[in-house]
Amino acid sequence: MPLLLNAVDASAVKQAAQRLAAGSLVGMPTETVYGLAADADNATAVHRIFEAKGRPADHPLIVHLAPGTGAQGWRGGVDHYARDVPAFATELMNAFWPGPLTLILPRREGVAAVAAGGQDSVGLRCPAHPVAQALLTAAAAHGVSGVAAPSANRFGRVSPTTAAHVADEFAALSDADLLILDGGACPVGIESTIVDATRAWPVLLRPGMVTSAQIEAVCQQPLRERDDTAPRASGTLESHYAPRAKVRLMDAQPLQTALDLLGPDARHIAVYARTPIKAARGVSVRRMPLDAARSAQELFAVLRELDATGVRLIWVETPPIDAAWDGVRDRLVRAAA
């Protein structure tokens, strides 16, 4: 079993930083989801991430930067990994870092090549979570410039938002192979918004809780949709974030009608809906919050819980077509693919 330590204990963070510096893996809480972290400049350590996740080695990882101190902030980290940073990207960093926004930038040659999955770009993010910041800062004191961390789940599965989820995903790893810092439940709950900044214009690669409107307001230019010339992003694979049960998105009315038709035969189905739904006894029905931020916060934990009940189907009420819901809708559409 992995070693699980409460991050409230300062010695736990210290121990985790030493492990990062020594090339081993740490389960790191961030404001979005938990990450499976390793020193981004240590190719052997980064290989351990790909191996543990069962993720193809050409899928690039996000490199997390310490918030830094004073006016310099995270800029030292950006300069270490990236070159030719467009002005709009700097403005986005100033507006949303530390926070749930990742920028894909041209990569400085010779750094973090393995973490970048061999691409000539690199994904950077400065997380807002106090435990992530403490860990990154302590690791920096050991000479770690940045920490590569994909979501701490096995490839293609639901992202973890608690330390217990991470322990479940990597139960096969030993306490020597993985230390998980328990920083509580992640407050944002879905992964960062990703913006490609390798060209002169911003492209949205993955929606998240930093919305398109917020990004456009800062960039003073329209955010373009992904096209074939934009970098690939594995979070943009059609089927992703998938629980074992089959997820199906439906509007409230057809969902209710289908349940009515099935009656007590619906016991292999779990329901997650904003609209009050009537179901036969024994059918698990969860209410989805009416607020997008609260819905994002609990989404992955609810999918895991419903999955754990052993149901074969999870019927989810389609989220509103509204910018605030873009991130949640995106994850559900992929979970249903």
On the CB side of 42, how many CA atoms lie within 13 Å of its CA?
A: 20
Interaction mask 267-306, ligand TXA, x per CB under 6 A: ----------------------------------------
DSSP for 163-230 reads HHHHHHHTTTS-TTTEEEEE--S-SS-SPPEEEE-SSSS-EEEE--SS-HHHHHHHHTSPPBPP-TTS
Total binding residues toward Mg ion, as defined by CB under 5 A: 1
Q: Concatenate the DSSP letters of all residues of 63-131 into one string.
A: EE----SGGGTTHHHHHHHB-S--HHHHHHHHHH-SSSEEEEEEBPTTSSTTTTTT-SEEEEE----HH
Q: Rounded to the nearest whole angstrom, what is the least distance from the CB of residue 73 to ligand TXA in the complex? A: 18
Return the range that interacts with ligand TXA (CB under 6 A); candidates 169-177, 233-241, 245-253, 261-269. 233-241
Instruction: Verify binding: residue 192, Mg ion, rule CB under 5 A.
Output: no
Q: Give the footprint of Mg ion on residues 274-293 (CB under 5 A).
A: none
Over the window 235 to 264, marking each residue x when it contacts ligand TXA by CB under 6 A and - when it does not, the resulting string is xx----------------------------
Size of the site for ligand TXA (CB under 6 A): 29
Two tokens at 286? Answer: 């969860």
Binding of residue 297 to Mg ion (CB under 5 A): no
Binding at 90: pick from Mg ion, ligand TXA, none (beta carbon under 5-8 Å per type): none
Distance CA 324, CA 295 (A): 11
Check residue 149 for interaction with ligand TXA (CB under 6 A): yes
Residues numbered 89 to 148 that lie near ligand TXA (CB under 6 A) are 100, 102, 104, 116, 119, 121-123, 125
Does position 60 interact with ligand TXA (CB under 6 A)? The reply is yes
Q: What are phi and psi of 103, to 5 degrees?
A: -115, 130
* Interacting residues with Mg ion (CB under 5 A): 151
